[in-house]
Amino acid sequence: MNFCFSKEEKLCKLEHIQKLFSEGKSVQSFPLKFLYIPIEKRRESTQFQLLISVPKRNFKKAVDRNRIKRLIRESYRLQKHQLATFTNEKYALAFIFTSKDMPTYDLIFNKVNRCFEKFSQVLETQTKDCTLEK
């Protein structure tokens, strides 16, 4: 298991970001909204690429926004191995923090885990639907 969060895992490609926000599907576990969309397999070596967003409207100070991003990034880093067990496809992912209150690490860790569980349930229903259609 690789627990690092490398540069290749950060979602930077503008095309993927626009597609994620326009066509992406979402799962919510308050205070996190989890967006995902499959991406084409190209040169990217990692299976998942992540974007984290904390709105300036809710947190005026950059210090607060950066702290929340660090909490989400750390929670993702420690739990990302769960995602690889659900699918072999490549995905562009995004976490959007929707609350106006400063969270604790435990809350974020549990909510990231809950988002992953909901995402896995969605993937399971998609695979069941595909097998039933055939």
Residue 34 near residue 51, CB atoms below 8 Å? no
Boundaries of domain holding 97: 7-133
Q: Is residue 48 part of a domain?
A: yes
Q: Which residue has the tokens 């597609």?
A: 19
Q: For the full predicted model, state whether its pTM sits above 0.85.
A: yes
Digits of tens for pLDDT over the chain (134 positions)?
678 888 889 999 999 999 999 999 999 999 999 999 998 876 667 889 999 999 999 999 999 999 999 999 999 999 999 888 888 889 999 999 999 999 999 999 999 999 999 999 999 888 777 666 65
The amino acid that residue 127 corresponds to is T
Q: 86: domain CATH number? A: 3.30.230.10
CA distance 133 to 32: 33
Q: Is residue 2 part of a domain?
A: no
Q: Is residue 1 part of a domain?
A: no
Residue 75 near residue 52, CB atoms below 8 Å? no
Q: Is residue 22 part of a domain?
A: yes
Q: Total domain count for the chain?
A: 1
* Per-residue model confidence (pLDDT) at position 105: 97
